[in-house]
Structures are given as structure tokens and as C-alpha cells.
């Protein structure tokens, strides 16, 4: 069983080295998709033993995830786990994330930050449930953490999922598609490590608004 971590990264030179160091021992292979960074993200990721794929221009989360998952499959991964590059996820939790996949209980596991009580910046604490509600109303998706960046996929799930959205909408698209494809889904409780850095990198108000408009528009088109 080859476990591959897929990490989308955009201008993460400050932290990606440390994040990769901690991650290394928990997976067999790390695939970093440098999403058109203008800093040394690619170089640092390479130095830390990751296989780096580099987008010539920035395409957003969905674009990077799609490339990473495809690359992982090309490299022979059996289980794929997506991890944020900002250090928000604890690599210790990878084993819990992939367990339902290895046991055959699920094809897709989503790490949820809302299944255990923990402190979280106010904007996230209120913003994410709001997006969960939007996801439920628009697509009928029931999720306690619809925007979570930590997800595990079986090979079968990774092969059948097609991510079309290029931005953050991809998070919702993955849930929507998984359900449409009849993949078994499971939520796994995870901690979220909020440092000043990871908070500054995450969801903010204006991009959140843009994201919301895009989600509504995509509902209109599809």
C-alpha cells in the first residue's frame, strides 16, 4: 500500500520546509503542486524530498488538487491524502484519516474540524458553518466541514473524481461529485492548528464572498 500526500502550495516558502519535515515519516511519498509561486516554494519542497509539479501560472486550489491527485496516481499511489501547506494539519492524524479507507469502510474521508471541541478564530467558527449551510441548500451536501483541506481518497475514488472547479469551490465539488458517483464518505475528527501564519493564509471575507458568488453561479450553469 503506497500512501501519497498531495500538497497544493502557493507562495509558502516560509513554512513549507517545516511542514514537509513533520509530514515525511507519515507517508510513503509527498507530491507538492507548486501553483505558480513566485518565491522559493518549489526549491524548498524539492530539498525536502518532495516530488514537485509546477504550474506555470496560478490556477487556484482546485487546479492544484487536480494536478496533485493525477500525479499521485501516475506515481502509483494506492491511498491519497491531501494536506495544506500552511501547517494547519497535524500529520499525526494521517493514520486516523486513512484508516477508514484501508479498512474498506470509505472511499473518501474528510477531516472535520467541528467534530471535536477546539478553539478557532471567530471568523472560521462562523464562516465555515455558513458555507456548510450553503452547500446543503444548493447541493444537498451534509457536511460538518465542507471546506476542509484534509481529505483522503482511495485509488478508486481518485480515479473517478473529476475536479473541474479551479478555485476553492473545488472543496464543495469534491463532496458533490463523491456523492453523485456513489462513493462511500466518512468524516474523521481532526484538530486544526491555527498559527498566525495559517490564519493569514486561509479564508477571508472578500475572497469568501467571491467564492460564494462562484458557487451560486456554478449552480446556475450546471
Partner 1 sequence: MFFIQILIVAFAVLVISRIVLSFKNGKIAIKGMLMWLGLWIALLIVVLSPQITGFLAKILGVWRGTDAVVYLSIVLIFYLIFRIFVKLEKIDSDLTTIARKIALRGENNHEIK
Asked whether the beta carbons of 115 and 192 are under 8 A apart, the reply is no
Q: Is residue 43 part of the contact set for partner 1 (CB under 8 A)?
A: yes
How many residues can be counted in the chain?
222
At residue 61's C-alpha, the angle toward residues 152 and 120, to 5°, is 70
Q: Does 57 bind partner 1 (CB under 8 A)?
A: yes
CB of 184 to partner 1, least distance (A): 27
Q: Using CA atoms, how far apart are residues 101 and 155, in angstroms rounded to an integer? A: 9
Q: Does 2 bind partner 1 (CB under 8 A)?
A: no
Say whether residue 82 binds partner 1 (CB under 8 A).
no
Residue among 79, 124, 73, 131 at smallest CA distance from 102:
79
With CB under 8 A as the contact rule, the residue among 8, 62, 87, 149 that binds partner 1 is 62
- Work out whether 71 is an interface residue with partner 1 (CB under 8 A): yes
Binding window for partner 1 (CB under 8 A); candidates: 54-62, 103-111, 113-121, 140-148: 54-62
CA of 1: how far to CAs of 45, 156, 172, in Å?
Answer: 24, 13, 28
Which of 166, 171, 178, 198 touches partner 1 by CB under 8 A?
166
Task: Report if residue 42 touches partner 1, rule: CB under 8 A.
Answer: yes
* Stretch of 89-97, 111-119, 174-182, 213-221 contacting partner 1, by CB under 8 A: 213-221
Beta-sheet strands, E only, within 10-121: 29-34, 51-54, 79-82, 108-112
**Contacting residues toward partner 1, per CB under 8 A:** 33, 36, 42-43, 46, 52-57, 59, 62-63, 66-67, 70-71, 74, 164, 166, 217-218, 220-221
Amino acid at each position: 500500500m503506497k500512501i501519497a500526500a498531495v500538497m497544493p502550495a502557493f507562495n509558502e516558502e516560509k513554512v513549507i520546509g517545516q511542514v514537509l519535515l513533520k509530514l515525511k515519516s507519515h507517508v510513503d511519498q509527498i507530491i507538492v503542486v507548486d501553483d505558480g509561486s513566485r518565491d522559493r516554494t518549489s526549491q524548498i519542497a524539492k530539498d525536502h524530498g518532495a516530488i514537485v509539479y509546477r504550474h506555470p501560472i496560478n490556477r487556484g486550489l482546485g487546479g492544484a488538487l487536480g494536478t496533485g491527485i493525477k500525479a499521485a496516481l501516475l506515481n502509483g499511489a494506492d491511498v491519497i491524502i491531501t494536506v495544506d501547506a500552511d501547517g494547519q494539519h497535524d500529520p499525526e492524524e494521517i493514520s486516523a484519516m486513512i484508516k477508514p479507507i484501508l479498512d474498506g469502510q470509505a472511499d473518501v474521508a474528510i477531516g472535520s474540524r467541528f467534530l471535536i471541541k477546539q478553539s478557532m478564530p471567530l471568523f472560521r467558527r462562523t464562516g465555515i458553518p455558513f458555507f456548510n449551510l450553503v452547500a446543503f441548500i444548493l447541493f444537498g451536501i451534509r457536511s460538518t466541514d465542507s471546506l476542509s483541506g484534509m481529505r483522503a481518497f482511495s485509488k478508486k475514488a481518485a480515479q473517478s473524481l473529476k475536479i473541474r472547479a479551479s478555485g476553492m469551490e473545488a472543496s464543495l465539488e469534491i463532496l458533490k461529485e463523491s456523492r453523485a458517483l456513489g462513493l462511500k464518505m466518512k468524516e474523521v475528527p481532526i484538530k486544526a492548528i491555527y498559527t498566525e501564519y495559517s490564519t493569514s493564509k486561509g479564508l477571508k471575507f472578500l475572497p469568501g464572498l467571491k467564492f460564494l458568488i462562484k458557487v451560486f453561479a456554478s449552480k446556475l450553469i450546471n
